[in-house]
Amino acid sequence: MAKNKINKNWIHDHINDPYVKLAQKEGYRARAAFKLKEIDEDEKLIKPGQVIVDLGCTPGSWGQYARRKLAGKEGGGINGTLIGLDMLPMAPIADFHFIQGDFREAEVLQQLEAVVQGQKVDLVLSDMAPNLSGIHDSDAARMEHLIDLAIEFSQAHLKPGGALLVKCFKDMGFNDIVLKFRAEFKTVIQKKPKASRDKSSEIFLLGRGLKNPTDGMASAQPLDSDGWRP
């Protein structure tokens, strides 16, 4: 009974969610588009001419938003390159290069290289989240693993001044993830967009500017409620 009540509450909240209604009105596949939109408007992440990779891109709302930001090229199309990677299938998006598969595998990376043609990436996006088991330590480890994969991908493909934006959760190994970000990026901030539900521990981390690997591990700094800038 309790589970049914929770499901009914979720359905009620979802149907009446203003961002769900707005996503339907504006043609986005998911309300998540507005999380990226707010972060982008605050941080000026997406600019014409960029190479952008969206990890775990399905169902595609982040790709839709990024595509709209890069649209306007004379004669149609976009000014830039958009690539999405996911193990799940995704319905096509105009001007969006979708590669289905595990981005740790050589075959998938070869397809990526064929699209970028030697260019380094300006922005890596990751809205990836693990399938939750309900076991806290196990879920935290899975979340941290996904972040590790996004960081490793960025180390291999980002421009030195590029940026990585990832989703994580305050109750899933967050402090350890922050330390990893601080070790790899010159600037690290956290973002909680309005489209992220208040009840959710969801938080986004943005790292900008890869550090020189010889810089070593960044020293731990106190966390605050508003985000950080070193």
Active site residue 3: no
Binding residues for S-adenosyl-L-methionine: 60, 62, 86, 102, 127
- Give the integer Cα–Cα distance in Å for 206 and 18: 26
Binding residues: 60, 62, 86, 102, 127
> Exactly one of 69, 167, 180, 192 is catalytic; which is it?
167
**Catalytic residue numbers?**
167
